[in-house]
Structure 1
């Protein structure tokens, strides 16, 4: 996960936490995008 999101950073505790936070944020953003698209598709 860290190597994919932060390829030039070392494996430190802080960088691993940053990568985990980024993954969580990406999932939340994608969930909001999908929810809005579904609502728009069904006229809500």
Structure 2
């Protein structure tokens, strides 16, 4: 499912599945950082 979401035109081989997993993890980490920064900014943190 991740491969179809992130790499819709690629085959289901090991490299593309790993690439899709890495993209998912990277996207989640970026989203966590964005949310953390927004919460800190909203509550006056630096």
Corresponding residue of 2:26: 25
State TM-score, norm by structure 1: 0.98
Gapped regions of structure 2 (runs ≥ 5): none
**Structure 1 residue runs of 4 or more that deviate by more than 2 Å after TM superposition:** none
User: Post-superposition shift, 1:32?
Assistant: 0.1
Once residues 36 and 28 of structure 1 are traced to their aligned partners in structure 2, the CA distance between those partners, rounded to angstroms, is 12
Matches within 5 A, 1:1-16: 1-16=2-17
Gapped regions of structure 1 (runs ≥ 5): none
Aligned residues, how many?
44
State TM-score, norm by structure 2: 0.93
| TM-align CA RMSD | 0.3
Once residues 3 and 27 of structure 1 are traced to their aligned partners in structure 2, the CA distance between those partners, rounded to angstroms, is 17
